[in-house]
Every structure is written in structure tokens, then in C-alpha cells.
């Protein structure tokens, strides 16, 4: 009985912590680019994932910067892009302050989800198995990115 009671107390403490955060987080997400496709919106605002090997940006080798498809925030330099073989555009580091992160427990896994620091839109997950000196691998949905070549 006492144990159940404690469990209940624990649960309410957890929801007290999580619910306002979830509320605030959903409040910060907003559609800025009115031309986003249905698929883009599903990834950016419902944390969807595009099909692997479907992004044309996988083969993008030019110098330039990758921006948020929703708000235009500058996220990655082409210098940090590498071929991870996973089927999603991958980067060893993001530009300073480009993203915020949260822990994502969906699909029975513990992953670090990251979202645009300006508009809150979901972009991908970051892993600690990158090949470069940062050790990071930002696994980004190509549909969330807009590439602007330097030249």
C-alpha cells in the first residue's frame, strides 16, 4: 500500500516536471515558412523521419551553409559534413547556438533529439559515434535543411 502510494507520488512529481516543459516546448515551435510541404511539416513539427537515402543533399559536396528549412537559421557549415553511410546527411558539429537538445525516449531507445534554437523545429538526433575529432554525428533529415552554396 505504502509502496503504491510512493509510486503515485513519484509519478505526479515526474508529470509536474515534464508537462510544463512539454507545453513550453510545443509553444516554441511555429511554422514560419508557409511553403513547407506536408512531409517537411511532419518531420519538423511531429518529429518524423524521412526515408534513408532519399535526400538529394547526401550528394551535396559544394562549400556553403545549411539552414533551417523553416526559419532560415544557419545550422551547419559544409566543412563539418561527412558521409556516414546511414542514408541521412551527417555532420560532425553544428554552428554555435544553432540547436537546443532534449532526451528522446521514443521507440524504446534513449537518444538526444535536437531542434532549431530559433523556431523549435525538429531536425534529427545526435550520436557519440562520429568519426571526427568532435566524436559527434548529427544525423539530420535532409528535408529540414536548405543548402546555400558560398559561390
- Residues in the site for Zn ion, rule: CB under 5 A? 68, 70-71, 73, 116, 118-119, 121
55 or 70: CB nearest Zn ion: 70
Q: Output the smallest distance, CB 112 to Zn ion, in A.
A: 18
At 133, list the grid cell: 575529432
Annotation marks residue 139 as catalytic: yes
4 or 46: CB nearest Zn ion: 46
2 or 139: CB nearest Zn ion: 139
Question: Which residues are tagged catalytic?
Answer: 139
Amino acid at each position: 500500500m505504502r509502496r503504491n502510494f510512493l509510486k503515485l507520488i513519484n509519478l505526479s512529481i515526474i508529470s509536474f516536471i515534464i508537462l510544463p516543459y512539454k507545453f513550453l516546448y510545443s509553444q516554441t515551435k511555429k511554422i514560419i515558412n508557409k511553403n513547407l510541404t506536408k512531409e517537411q511539416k511532419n518531420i519538423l513539427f511531429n518529429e518524423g523521419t524521412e526515408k534513408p537515402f532519399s535526400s538529394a543533399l547526401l550528394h551535396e559536396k559544394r562549400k556553403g551553409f545549411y539552414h533551417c528549412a523553416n526559419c532560415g537559421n544557419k545550422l551547419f557549415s559544409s566543412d563539418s559534413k561527412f558521409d556516414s553511410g546511414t542514408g541521412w546527411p551527417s555532420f560532425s558539429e553544428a554552428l554555435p547556438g544553432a540547436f537546443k537538445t532534449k532526451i528522446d525516449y521514443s521507440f524504446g531507445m534513449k537518444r538526444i533529439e535536437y531542434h532549431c534554437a530559433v523556431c523549435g523545429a525538429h531536425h534529427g538526433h545526435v550520436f557519440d559515434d562520429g568519426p571526427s575529432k568532435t566524436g559527434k554525428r548529427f544525423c539530420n533529415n535532409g528535408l529540414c535543411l536548405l543548402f546555400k552554396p558560398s559561390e
